[in-house]
């Protein structure tokens, strides 16, 4: 392995930068050296990381930008060539379930996600799906395209006055709450930790002490929590049974948070009137039921995929790295490293 003789910290990016302003990137390169890989699948990526570390490394940081599906999952085998020198791995996504966080912590590597860039676009998707399930828009569009004017549509539900229950009041949940209030919806939430009173006032939200309280009293339920060991299958048969009959459900977080078989049963029974789904358990494969059912409004995980989000996420990755090397701590760490 070549010796680390550069005075500037050296960074390896799994993909080329595509959206960040060149002026910002040029300024960043005055303080850091960036190398970009150009690989198309997981096998190529693993081989390229190994060879780059041997020929050009070691690296102080590793960047994973948007469009991770061809390279997942990011296992210890995938990332092992970067240790022991790498100090941080930064991701342009909000979710981090595809990364071995515990393993990274054991190896003194900070892991950072992007908390701001994709939050509002994802909340926009959540709000879009909220309105779509309430107003039954997909079925109406299919009828109109088929020349069936209004078909069997009866006056649909109005969002005004409905109670929206948000599971997970992080940045995405907060944005969704703010947007929902414009439609005169009453917002309540369930979270691992209750928000400070001033935040509840700002977002005009009410706290539910238990998940069951939220499920039992909400007209619309929106999933915005991270996927981890505690939230996998969070909504299953028991939880659907606790909901009101005819509840509307929205998921823009991760597909595996919802037991899809339980959701299908709830849709078939009418417990859930309609579901708006941007994420799926086995994506890009989608359960045939969701594709064919008129009770589902589906999107191909587009929540955070906007031009502005991509640009801001790339910048946020670099801001995490800058902060770590200037202050000893990144901006948005998912884990805690005490020995660096």
Active site residues: 254, 283, 301
Measured CA to CA, the distance from residue 267 to residue 262 in angstroms comes to 9
Report the greatest alpha carbon distance in the chain: 72
Q: What is the 3-state secondary structure (H, E, C) of the chain?
A: CCCCCCCCCEEEECCCCCCCCHHHHHHHCCCCEEEECCCCCHHHHHHHHHHHHHHCCCCCEEEECCCCHHHCCCCHHHHHHHCCCCCEEEECCCCCCCCCHHHHHHCCCEEECCCCCCHHHHHHHHHHHHHHHHHCHHHHHHHHHCCCCCCCCCCCCCCCCCEEEEECCCHHHHHHHHHHHHCCCEEEEECCCCCCHHHHHHHCEEECCCHHHHHHHCCEEEECCCCCCCCCCCECHHHHHHCCCCEEEEECCCHHHECHHHHHHHHHHCCEEEEEECCCCCCCCCCHHHHHCCCEEECCCCCCCCHHHHHHHHHHHHHHHHHHHHHCCCCCECCCCCCC
Strands 88-91 and 61-64, sheet pairing? parallel
Measured CA to CA, the distance from residue 229 to residue 56 in angstroms comes to 37
Nearest residue to 271 (alpha-carbon basis) of 293, 222, 238 = 238
């Amino acid at each position: 392995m070549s010796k680390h003789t550069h005075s500037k910290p050296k960074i390896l990016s799994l993909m080329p930068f595509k959206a960040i302003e060149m002026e910002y990137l040029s300024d960043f390169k005055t303080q850091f050296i960036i190398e970009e890989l150009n690989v198309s699948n997981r096998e190529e990526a693993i081989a390229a990381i190994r060879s780059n570390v041997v020929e050009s490394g070691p690296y102080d940081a590793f960047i994973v930008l948007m469009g991770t599906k061809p390279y997942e999952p990011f296992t210890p085998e995938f990332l092992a060539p970067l240790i022991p020198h790498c100090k941080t791995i930064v991701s342009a996504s909000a979710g981090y379930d595809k990364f071995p966080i515990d393993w990274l912590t054991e190896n003194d590597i900070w892991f950072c996600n992007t908390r701001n860039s994709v939050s509002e676009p994802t909340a926009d998707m959540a709000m879009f799906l909220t309105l779509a399930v309430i107003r039954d828009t997909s079925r109406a569009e299919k009828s109109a395209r088929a020349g069936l004017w209004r078909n069997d549509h009866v006056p649909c539900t109005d969002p005004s006055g409905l109670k929206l229950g948000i599971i997970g009041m992080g940045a995405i949940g907060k944005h969704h709450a703010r947007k929902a209030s414009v439609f005169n919806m009453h917002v309540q939430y369930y979270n691992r930790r209750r928000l400070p009173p001033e935040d509840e006032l700002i977002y005009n939200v009410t706290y539910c002490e238990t998940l069951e309280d939220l499920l039992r009293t909400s007209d619309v339920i929106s999933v915005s929590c991270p996927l981890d060991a505690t939230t996998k299958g969070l909504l299953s048969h028991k939880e659907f049974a606790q909901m009101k009959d005819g509840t509307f459900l929205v998921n823009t977080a991760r597909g595996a948070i919802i037991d899809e078989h339980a959701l299908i049963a709830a849709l078939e029974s009418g417990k859930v009137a309609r579901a708006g789904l941007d994420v799926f358990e086995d994506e890009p494969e989608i359960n045939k039921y969701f594709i064919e059912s008129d009770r589902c409004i589906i999107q191909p995980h587009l929540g955070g995929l906007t031009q502005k989000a991509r640009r801001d996420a790339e910048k946020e990755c670099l801001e995490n790295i800058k902060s770590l090397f200037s202050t000893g701590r990144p901006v948005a760490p998912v884990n805690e490293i005490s020995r660096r």
